[in-house]
Structure 1
């Protein structure tokens, strides 16, 4: 048998196959290959159809609407005990996001059901247009404002004008800014502030710009511009990261303090705050064509997109300077807001902003952040952060994360984009 030629042929063939197999395994090991699902999914870079994500979102929200109607309340998040968290009684800065998300579902699908549902839930907050709060823009521009833009319903105009007039009552010409929190009660009263203004307030200016267009009265836009200019002058560091809170002297308008409220430290960069600034100045450019605002948005975007975590994983930690990174919670809401802002910014500048936005949206659309049907109390996105310093809504769904995710899908669709892959490239 040893002299049989076929034996040697078979033996040599087996030896050759063994060597080839070992070489392949060695090459795989050197290249860092690991047989795990997450790496396989990343390597495949499967395209994500926006229509598929929209269909999933509609299924989630159909169930969420049913629960919300049964309780006649607007969903906000999930409680620590796992029960639904509804918007707070009286006034809640997040109460406009849920009807706003329903308006986006209507815009994306054309299904009249979402139009009716949006109208139903925004009626629950209608009287809050007279409640003195800096977040009236969030509440009413995202609900009644979207409704007006999509339907032309004239009765919505009065609601927006009323809300804008209430918001203007918080403006002080000495400070040239709209006051955020009242300091006579609650945790805000313990900080020694006189006239605190938060970066979030940039988001409420869109209501004022819109009402100037509706009424032909420039006073609303004038105050929005003054607020934006004051924020631009005082809220940003040399690297274009933002403080959360700037406190002003209520008599002279001079800056007293620059601090945190929801960030990790006074000098840290709270991720959602950076997103508010990027979105706000991009929006201000849309209404004013002021190149200073566009340049500011560009610089804020550079700060965000240069962060190592954004470069590698697209989703920021809740604070870009959180002390325990990489063992800190991620904030899907900050990513969704940032993505939506970058999509708009890509309309004005060719800086790769659209690709960055698509990478964020494709990551948010994956199984790590987008909930399975029937889970997450039917909210879309998982792993958002409300406020770690206040111990509130940590690693929870948030209605505003869903809102800006849907807004991003709407903005992508308006740009003619129908699908993206996990590298963020258009298909």
Structure 2
């Protein structure tokens, strides 16, 4: 009987050890080629940051620095500079990063400063040590902190009226977990200790209120702004209030893994595993989720390659934190399978357009960016590939 208990784990480890190692440099080189194609079509206007390409089209939709996706393009360029050493990417990354500088001194209009500033200036500072970048990061963290409500214990995501959010009550969306990294980093690098406390509080309150008993995330939670009491959980971009929106669950996996890295609070590590396990158990065979796990149109519903890229990157980091070698191996195997699928002809854009990936879904209920190429899918794909490359080099 005891042998049978360990047989599935043995099979997983055997499969992992026998499978040919994924050559991560091939897709990284591919990304570099694609990015250089995009650099050639950047318009000479202030609205010049690539965001998405509609399904079946070849032209990018460009946005300005205020768009919530504005940091992903310079961040992708920084990753490609890290991968290739090609100063073409460094020069371009610096150019697009600097375009986002006003975000650090303007009044916060939403929670997305982490996505915008840490994906750009944060990556640039890590690779260059440019002190000017550091000043912007610290200023942006202080700006983000102005949205923290101590009565609730979380950062306000949208300081404005949004449908079904009971404005002016306090709303928090699961995406906001990613923006906590900006606060953690700032607190460790010359910013106020209060920034660390805000990040931990946000993660703990979200852990308590943002998930159903089976650890599936709501997209949004509305709180009473004066008492901090939870009013309701709901969706904004998922199929339904009680469904599991794929990218929302991806933000939870990535976010709680990052929170454990920054705080070493074992509760965050345990929770990262729980939100991961419910995501993994219902994935399609190719490991790329449908945009929402509960869309009744499955298997004819759109996929979301962006969610797969986020999860692949998060799982690679999470696997390195686990003490259970069998589960660590399982998570890494899952991440590698996601990257294999994303690197296939089915999901890579190749000659179809100059993005890296196809088949991402932005805001399905709004009919926006459905089955499209989206810049944050490319960003997390490049990040996941670099994380896997690092792990492979450590294991040599």
TM-score normalised to structure 1 length: 0.83
CA displacement at 1:238 relative to structure 2: 1.2
Equivalents in 2 of 1:70, 1:50: separation in Å?
Answer: 34
1:235 to 179, 185, 210: 210
Equivalents in 1 of 2:191, 2:141: separation in Å?
Answer: 14
Q: Matched residue of 2:320: which SS?
A: coil
2:79 corresponds to 1:101 = no
Unaligned residue ranges in structure 2 (runs of 5+): 1-18
Equivalents in 2 of 1:120, 1:259: separation in Å?
Answer: 39
Contact 2:22 2:336 in 1 (8 A): no
Equivalents in 1 of 2:370, 2:160: separation in Å?
Answer: 25
Equivalents in 2 of 1:81, 1:412: separation in Å?
Answer: 30
2:157 corresponds to 1:180 = yes
1:335 to 300, 308, 331: 308
Equivalents in 2 of 1:105, 1:171: separation in Å?
Answer: 34
2:236 corresponds to 1:261 = yes
2:32 to 52, 58, 62: 58
CA displacement at 1:81 relative to structure 2: 8.8
Equivalents in 2 of 1:360, 1:181: separation in Å?
Answer: 32
CA displacement at 1:84 relative to structure 2: 2.1
For the aligned residue pairs, the C-alpha RMSD in angstroms reads 1.8
Partner of 2:142: 165
Equivalents in 2 of 1:192, 1:232: separation in Å?
Answer: 21
Contact 1:268 1:319 in 2 (8 A): yes
CA displacement at 1:189 relative to structure 2: 4.7
Contact 1:183 1:189 in 2 (8 A): no
Partner of 2:368: 392
2:187 to 212, 232, 242: 212
Partner of 2:274: 299
Q: Deviations over 1:100-119 (max 9, x none)?
A: 00000011111121111100
CA displacement at 1:183 relative to structure 2: 3.1
CA displacement at 1:416 relative to structure 2: 2.2
Write the mapping of 1:18-417 to structure 2, written as runs, cut at 5 A: 48-68=22-42, 70-71=44-45, 73-79=48-54, 82=57, 83-87=59-63, 89=64, 91-129=66-104, 130-132=106-108, 133-184=110-161, 188-189=162-163, 191-193=165-167, 194-215=169-190, 217-309=192-284, 312-349=285-322, 350=325, 351=327, 352-373=330-351, 375-376=352-353, 378-416=354-392
Equivalents in 2 of 1:293, 1:393: separation in Å?
Answer: 32
Q: Matched residue of 1:261: which SS?
A: coil
Structure index of larger Rg: 1
Contact 2:74 2:93 in 1 (8 A): yes
Contact 2:170 2:224 in 1 (8 A): yes
Query: Per the alignment, do residues 126 and 234 of structure 1 end up closer, same or farther by CA in structure 2, a change over 3 Å counting?
Result: same
CA displacement at 1:190 relative to structure 2: 5.3
Query: Per the alignment, do residues 308 and 171 of structure 1 end up closer, same or farther by CA in structure 2, a change over 3 Å counting?
Result: closer
CA displacement at 1:323 relative to structure 2: 1.5
Equivalents in 1 of 2:204, 2:318: separation in Å?
Answer: 19
Equivalences, count: 368
Q: Deviations over 1:215-247 (max 9, x none)?
A: 153111110000001100000111111000000
CA displacement at 1:148 relative to structure 2: 0.6
Contact 1:244 1:260 in 2 (8 A): yes
Contact 2:149 2:156 in 1 (8 A): yes
TM-score normalised to structure 2 length: 0.89
Query: Per the alignment, do residues 273 and 59 of structure 1 end up closer, same or farther by CA in structure 2, a change over 3 Å counting?
Result: same
